[in-house]
Each structure stands twice: as C-alpha cells, then as structure tokens.
Amino acid sequence: MRIFDPHIHMTSRTTDDYRRMYDAGVRALVEPAFWLGQPRTSPGTFADYFDGLLGWEPYRAAQYGIRHHCAIALNPKEANDPRCRPVLDLLPRYLAKDGVVAVGEVGYDEMTPAEDEVFQAQLALAAEHGLPVLVHTPHRDKAAGTRRTLEVVKDSGLPPERVLVDHLNEMTAGMVADSGCWLGFSVYPDTKMDVHRMIALLRQYGTERILVNSAADWGHSDPLKTRAVGDAMLADGFTEADVEQVLWTNPVTFYGQSGRLDLADDAAPAADYAGNTIKRGVAP
Amino acid sequence: MIPPVRPRLTEDGTRWLDAAEAKVKADPGAVLALFPAAGRACGRGPLPETGWTVDLAVRATLLTALPLDGEALGELLFDLYTHGDTAERLGVLAGLDALDGRLGDAGLPIVRDALRTSDTRLIGAALGSYGAARLPAEAYRQAVLKCVFTGVPLDTVRGLDTRADRELARMMADFARERAAAGREVPADIWPVVERHPEVLAELTTELPSLSSGAL
Ligand SMILES: [Zn+2]
C-alpha cells in the first residue's frame, strides 16, 4: 500500500515516526505551516520555521525514504496577533520555492475580523502564485465556520478544485462536497474523526474527491492513521484501486496542481507531468 | 569552475537564462525572484561527468552576472542563501569559487553558516576552493573533521594538499582512537590526512596495530 499523507506536521515528530511511517507504506507527505502550540511573537521565528520546512525537514524525511513537500502560510490562530501580521510580507518570497506545493494552513479559528483579512489576503496570494490552498476548519463552531469558509473561497474567484477544505466531519462534509472543493478528513486517535466513521463517509461521498490525513502534530495524534484507514477500507470491501486513489492519487492530483511536486525516485531526469516530476508516482 | 550549462539547456531554458542574466546585470535585486525559479525554468537533471546538476550550474552562473563586489556582493549572497531552500543554498555555495576574486572574505559568513548545519550536502559544499582557501586554520580543521564525522567524503573537499597540517592529522588520529575504543569502524578517509605526517601515523599504528593493517 502506497501512502501520501497530505497533512502532517513532521517538525513535531521523531525519526522513529519516520521509520514507522515508511514501514507502513508512507512515501510522500505534505507538511503545512501551522501553530506550534506555543505562540510566536515575531516574523523572524516564522522565517526560521519556514526555512526548516524547506531545508532540514525534507532532509530528515529523505533519510527515511519519504518525500517531503510543504505548504506555507500564516495560520488563523496567530493571524490574530498583530505582531505576527508582517509574516504576510514574507510569504511571496517563500511561495516561490520549489518545495512549496500549496498555501496553507489558512482559514478560521474564531472567525475574527483579523482572520477574515489574513484568510482573504492569502487566497489572493495563492491565485497570484498558481498554488492550491489547504484550508483548516475551526474546531469549535465548525459548521458555521465551514459555511463561512466556503463563501470566502467562492468570493475569491479561486476554482474550487484548487481548494482542499480539511478537518471535516459528518456535519460539514455535505456542504463541501456541494461546493466542488476537495474534502479533507483528519483521522485522530480519539477526536475529530475515527477510522469507522471515515469508512462510512467514503461509502457516502465516494473516493473521487476525498483526501485522508493523520494531521499528526505535537498533540495526541498518530502518523499511522492513514494506513489504518487503508486497511479498514480493504476490510470493508473497497478495492486496492479505491485505496490507491484515496491514499495516493488524490493527494498527487491535488498538490500536483502546483506543478512543483517532485516524486521521482532519484536525481536522474524523470518524466515531467505538468511541471511535476513523478517517476514512480501515478500521473493522474 | 562552473561547468558550461548552456549546451544542456532547451531553447526555453537558454532564453530564460539569457534574460535572467540581463536582468541581474541591470538590477542585482532581480536575482531574488529569479534564483528560486531556476530549477523550474531550466531543469534539475545531472550535468554528465561533472557532479553538478543543471539547476546548480544555472544558479551559480546567474551569480557571476551580478555587477557587484566586496561587502555589497557578500550581503546579497547571504540574503539569497539565508532565505533559500537547500537547492538555492547549494547554488550560492557553488558560486563562491567563481566569485572569489570579487568577494574577498565577504562570502565567509555563508561558508560558516553552512558548516554549522547538520545537512551533509551543505557541509560538503562549504569546502569548495573558496572555503578551503579562506577559512582560518582552526575553522578549516574543524570543518574537515566534521566531514569525516558526518560521512561527507573527503574527495570533494578542497585544500587538503596545502592545509592538512600536523594538528589536523592529530585530530584525525584522536578521532580514530575514539572510534576504536567504541568498537566502531574508523572511516577510511582519515588515512590520507594522517599519512601526511609520518610521526602521527607511527604513533597511532603502534598504539592500535589492528587499525593500520587494513588501511595501509
Ligand atoms: Zn494541521
């Protein structure tokens, strides 16, 4: 089983995790920029964080046979701190990097006016740089937050297929499916979404536009949840092809819209797919 | 020093590099936006028999077009390096050798930063002819030792002919003792350095005869 985790925060994980992920079939991942648990107070610490997502973390991942790409953004939680606002000025320089395959995580935490502004500014940056967007939906008041998210995305003029709306559940999946955006589900040990509910959602909405991630980070989470979903799909009667679509092809298709995905096995010249280098990967 | 890259470029790639060089000559600041795009514009494949890749050579070539020297050149290069991803950082390090005459010591902060990382690609790239010629003796020795310690092969490291002094041989010999005491393998790369100083070599092989047999 070949797995692409489209949302995981490896900066907070150990090399043991990388090893276990490889053993479970994970060969590629995207690490979106997010909150680190402890608030940051200046743009300089974001620059260092972004540099890590583009330098040290891909290097670490490569030692364990895993391709690492990232998404870059000012997250909604820290968008509320005026000291972090200058991070928006750093973004154009980072969004030009080869390893950046999306803008993210953007979206809402508490739906404040500051979050509105920062969300909209970053959707405009995504359009400017031709990048897809990974949108986080709030933990609290999720249905209202998701509804508002979809309105803002619509107003931005970005084509819905360039937008992945993440952390969905039974309450919010339907409206995202109707919008034409991609549906993201974060499968956690106890909260948000579990493996069995995930199977029911795949039965209901089909495998075409769904991405499953572990969203593992510094909190209680499990980087092998993607594999657990794959196993549960097979046990429930989904085909190997269905599993491949959800756990590999869909993330490749979504992030491949950046033209910057590099999944080639080695440095040799590789087949070029719309700017992406996908030798062993599936050209969708 | 920079292998000729134009023969390997497509028509589009050549046009991009020509235009990029012209822009950088007219306005050095233009390099900030061009530098990250080099791989996408020109490709990332290998340049046969050089150990270079296309994007690496394109980036280094682009730097030679900068109409700057001394501190001003050093500051712009440091900015490119420090905000660069790994490929861009390698591009800056690869350009230093060709810029040596214009840079003077102004590129040393870049070399020192690369040597402080734990990324073996950056560590190795920091010891091109620029870093090898300009690092003070203590820093050069520490850098070579770090290469051996982290597994960067010494055959790409410059300057050993002239700078591998007795103190470096002593450091290598101590490193071999440490590894031997831990029951771990002693990297073969220490020997060419130790052998340059027969008394250091003799002392080490007398002390640890098992080491010398396989290596000499
Ligand atoms: Zn996240």
CB contacts of A259 in chain B (<8 Å) are 40
CA distance to A115, A148, A174, A202, B58, per residue, from A170 (Å): 25, 17, 8, 11, 50
pLDDT of B208: 87
* Coil, strand or helix at A191: coil
Residue B138's pLDDT band (cuts 50, 70, 90) = very high
Mutate to test the interface with A, among B42, B82, B85 (most CBs of A within 10 A): B85
Q: Which two tokens stand for residue A239?
A: 């085909």
Average pLDDT for B6-30: 97
Q: How far is B137 from chain A (nearest CA, A)?
A: 28
Structural contact between residues A249 and A258, judged by C-beta atoms closer than 8 angstroms: no
Average pLDDT for B53-61: 98
Cα–Cα distance, B122 to A56 (Å, whole number)? 11
pLDDT of B209: 85
Record: contact A47-B89, CB cut-off 8 A: no
Measured between CB atoms, does A169 come within 8 Å of chain B? no
pLDDT of A267: 39
Cβ contacts of B135 within 8 Å, gap of 6 or more: B108, B111, B112, B143
pLDDT of A190: 79
Question: What does pLDDT average to over chain B?
Answer: 94
Cα–Cα distance, A253 to A72 (Å, whole number)? 19
Q: Which of residues 41-70 of A touch B (CB under 8 A)?
A: 47, 51, 54-56, 58-59
Record: contact A56-B119, CB cut-off 8 A: yes
Record: contact A275-B40, CB cut-off 8 A: yes
Average pLDDT for B22-41: 97
Whether the pLDDT of residue B75 is over 60: the answer is yes
pLDDT of B211: 76
What tens-digit pLDDT sequence spans chain A (284 residues)?
999 999 999 999 999 999 999 999 999 999 999 999 999 999 999 999 999 999 999 999 999 999 999 999 999 999 999 999 999 999 999 999 999 999 999 999 999 999 999 999 999 999 999 999 999 999 899 999 999 999 999 999 999 999 999 999 999 999 999 999 999 999 998 776 899 999 999 999 999 999 999 999 999 999 999 999 999 999 999 999 999 999 999 999 999 999 999 998 643 334 455 566 654 433 33
* Coil, strand or helix at B51: coil
Among A55, A93, A277, the residue with its CB nearest the CB of B119 is A55
User: What ipTM did this prediction achieve?
Assistant: 0.82
Residue pairs between chains A and B whose CB atoms are closer than 8 Å: 44
pLDDT of A265: 64
Average pLDDT for B13-21: 98
Record: contact B36-A96, CB cut-off 8 A: yes
Residue B139 phi, psi (nearest 5): -65, -40
* Coil, strand or helix at A187: coil
pLDDT of A154: 97
Among B45, B83, B119, the residue with its CB nearest the CB of A93 is B83
Residue B72's pLDDT band (cuts 50, 70, 90) = very high
- Looking at residue A249, its amino acid is T
Whether the pLDDT of residue B105 is over 70: the answer is yes
CB contacts of B83 in chain A (<8 Å) are 47, 51, 93
Structural contact between residues A212 and A246, judged by C-beta atoms closer than 8 angstroms: yes
DSSP string computed for A222-273: -TTHHHHHHHHHHHTT--HHHHHIIIIIHHHHHHHTTS--B--SSSS---EE
Query: Of A103-107, A263-267, B17-21, B198-202, which range is least confident?
Result: A263-267
Kindly state the helix (H) or strand (E) to which residue A29 belongs, with its residue range.
strand A26-32
Q: Which two tokens stand for residue B43?
A: 């490709």
Measured between CB atoms, does B174 come within 8 Å of chain A? no
pLDDT of A249: 97
pLDDT of B215: 45
Per CATH, the number for A3-281 is: 3.20.20.140
Kindly identify which residue of chain B lies nearest to residue A261, measuring between CA atoms: B40
Structural contact between residues A128 and A153, judged by C-beta atoms closer than 8 angstroms: no
Structural contact between residues A118 and A88, judged by C-beta atoms closer than 8 angstroms: yes
| Phi/psi-derived region of residue A237, left when phi > 0, alpha when psi is between -120 and 50, beta in every other case | left
Segments making up each domain of chain A, as ranges? 3-281
Mutate to test the interface with B, among A31, A56, A57, A59 (most CBs of B within 10 A): A59
pLDDT of B212: 59
Query: What pTM did the predictor assign?
Result: 0.88
Cα–Cα distance, B22 to A273 (Å, whole number)? 30
Q: Which of residues 217-276 of A touch B (CB under 8 A)?
A: 259-260, 267-269, 275
| DSSP 8-class letter at B2 | P
Gap from CA of B154 to ligand 1 centroid (Å): 41
Whether the pLDDT of residue B163 is over 60: the answer is yes
Q: How far is A136 from chain B (nearest CA, A)?
A: 25
CA distance to A26, A32, A115, A119, per residue, from A175 (Å): 30, 24, 21, 20
Measured between CB atoms, does B119 come within 8 Å of chain A? yes
